[in-house]
Amino acid sequence: MSASPAPVEKQGERVEKLSGVDAVVLVGGQGTRLRPLTLSAPKPMLPTAGVPFLTHLLSRIRAAGITHVVLGTSYKASVFEEYFGDGSRLGLELEYVVEDTPLGTGGGIRNAASRLRAEHIMVFNGDILSGVDLGAVAHSHLDNDADVTLHLVKVADPRAFGCVPTDADGRVLAFLEKTENPPADQINAGCYVFKRSVLEEIPADRPVSVERETFPGLLERGARLQGHVDTSYWLDLGTPAAFVKGSADLVRGLAPSDALPGPTGEAIVLDGALVREGAKLVNGSTIGAGAQVGPGATVDGSVVFDGAVIGANAVVTGSVIGANARIGDGAVLRGAVIGDGAVVGARCELLEGLRLWPGASLADGSVRFSHDA
């Protein structure tokens, strides 16, 4: 993922240098693709491997030597400050800015400008799980005196993404839309480093897309846009399937985090949870605080939120079970999303991405396929 480690004292010097870099984390989206989970909490605050997802990202930012972080919020904005406060618990100094109306990625970055202090700003999308070496991205930017540096990750199939080709020196050549025959296998990974002066040129108080407006405009005028290209772990947590995979990968240690509430392995079981005899927890599952898993039940690569109850001999695979939801004895769920407080009756089968809204209930023995309920 990165070059061979430098001697310890050199690593310390490079981390120290990053103390002159601020961070902006964009967490204002409504997370509509993750409904009904995001009806009660913003996407970056959903429990992921035992803690709100944003905790994993903030811990990695701190580990890279950045301590001043501005969160750009909008949807359910108060939830972030209520949970993280001033950031001191994580060794950070957190500040918050709120978008009264959606401003897009570029507008959200510009909206944080008044709180920034450093000459270089590292920007993160708050729903990306990544294993990139953050220090290496920042130093690519500083060492090349770039106006903006983008983390670009190589993917096996770039057709679903716009691609970003670079030259032999790593300079960005273009921003290309999705195509069936992309000329490069590297995509925009949603992590950037801006010179502060360049960031402040983004128009204020209106929606701006960095991908469609800011970056192409900078290229057109000859600014230096640098690509930091790697093959690190990368996942957009925007869909239920991706959210489940990301949580499981964190639990199994396939994605890095300094914030796991337990050791990596087959499962994390939070305080107060009860797992009955004969139950199986496998493939990176998380069992929330106060949750219960009945005898003979299997929880496979799934996320069970606080207070949920899984009945005896139930099978829950690749699914999310909301807070205080109840899954009946012998029920089978595959790729399902169960909202907070919902009830799935005994021997129900929920398959192919079914989503059950908060408080809803299904009678015993129901069979449902890929429809919201």
The total number of structural domains in the chain stands at 2
Q: Find where tokens 């693709």 sit.
A: 33
Residue 211 DSSP label: I
Domain match, 69 and 177 both? yes
Does some domain include residue 364?
A: yes
Do 290 and 204 have their domain in common?
A: no
**Residue 70 shares a structural domain with residue 179:** yes
Give Rg (Cα) of the chain.
Answer: 22
Is the Cβ–Cβ distance between 133 and 11 less than 8 Å?
Answer: no
**355 lies in a domain?**
yes
Structure confidence at residue 62 (pLDDT)? 92
24-53 pLDDT, tens digit per residue, is: 999 877 768 888 888 888 889 999 999 999
6 pLDDT more than 70: no
Residue 17 has what pLDDT?
Answer: 53
Q: What is the pLDDT of residue 29?
A: 78
334 domain residue, yes or no: yes
Residue 258 placed within a domain: no
Does a structural domain hold residue 245? no
Domain boundary among 219, 239, 259: 239
What is the structure's pLDDT at 19? 65
What is the distance between the alpha carbons of residues 274 and 319, in angstroms, rounded to a whole number? Answer: 19
Res 26: pLDDT: 92
Q: Do 280 and 210 share a domain, yes or no? A: no
pLDDT for residue 52: 94
Q: Is the pLDDT of residue 115 over 50?
A: yes
Instruction: Kindly indicate the confidence band of residue 363, based on its pLDDT and cuts at 50, 70 and 90.
Output: confident
Structure tokens at 254: 């396939």
Q: Which of 30-39, 140-149, 298-307 has the lowest mean pLDDT?
A: 30-39
**pLDDT band for position 311 (cuts 50, 70, 90):** very high
| Average pLDDT, integer, range 12-35 | 74
One domain for residues 81 and 26? yes
Same domain, yes or no: 200 and 327: no
The reply to whether 199 and 316 lie within a common domain is: no
Sequence-ordered list of residues with C-beta below 8 angstroms from that of 71, at least 6 positions apart, any chain: 24, 25, 27, 80, 84, 94, 95, 96, 97, 126
337, 211: one domain: no
pTM value is: 0.88
Q: Which stretches within 165-315 are classed as H helix?
A: 196-199, 215-220, 240-251
Averaged confidence pLDDT in the chain: 88
The whole-number pLDDT of residue 11 equals 41
Q: What is the pLDDT of residue 77?
A: 78
Peptide bond into 165 cis (omega under 30): no
pLDDT at residue 369, rounded to an integer: 62
Confidence category of residue 10, pLDDT binned at 50, 70, 90: very low
β-strand pairing of 280-282 with 298-300 = parallel
Exposed/middle/buried for residue 361 (C-beta within 10 Å: 0-12, 13-18, 19+): middle
User: Of 14 and 331, which is predicted with more confidence?
Assistant: 331
Average pLDDT in the 98-113 region?
A: 87
Helices and strands counted in the chain (H then E) = 8, 29
* Per-residue model confidence (pLDDT) at position 255: 93
Quote the pLDDT of residue 12.
44
Q: How far apart are CA 15 and CA 91, in angstroms?
A: 15
Instruction: Identify the weakest region by mean pLDDT among 174-178, 240-244, 259-263.
Output: 174-178
pLDDT digits (tens, 9 = 90+) for 200-256: 999 988 888 888 899 999 999 999 999 999 999 999 998 899 999 999 999 999 999
Same domain, 189 and 286: no
- The answer on pLDDT for 264 being more than 70 is yes
72 and 120 fall within a common domain? yes
Residue 188: its pLDDT value, please?
87
The range of the structural domain enclosing residue 338 comes to: 267-369
What is the domain-level CATH number for residue 208?
3.90.550.10
pLDDT at 34: 84
Q: How many other C-beta atoms can be found within 10 angstroms of the C-beta atom of residue 13?
A: 11
Report for 45-49, 104-108, 163-167: range of highest mean pLDDT: 45-49
If asked whether residues 216 and 292 sit together in one domain, one would say: no
Segment 49-90, tens digit of pLDDT:
999 999 999 999 999 999 999 999 877 878 889 999 999 999
Domain assignment present for residue 69? The answer is: yes
Same structural domain for residues 304 and 215?
no
The answer to whether residue 253 is domain-embedded is no
Give the distance from CA 335 to its chain's centroid: 19
For residue 193, the cross-strand partners are 122, 149
Q: Which CATH number goes with the domain that contains 284?
A: 2.160.10.10
- Answer yes or no: is 329 within a domain: yes
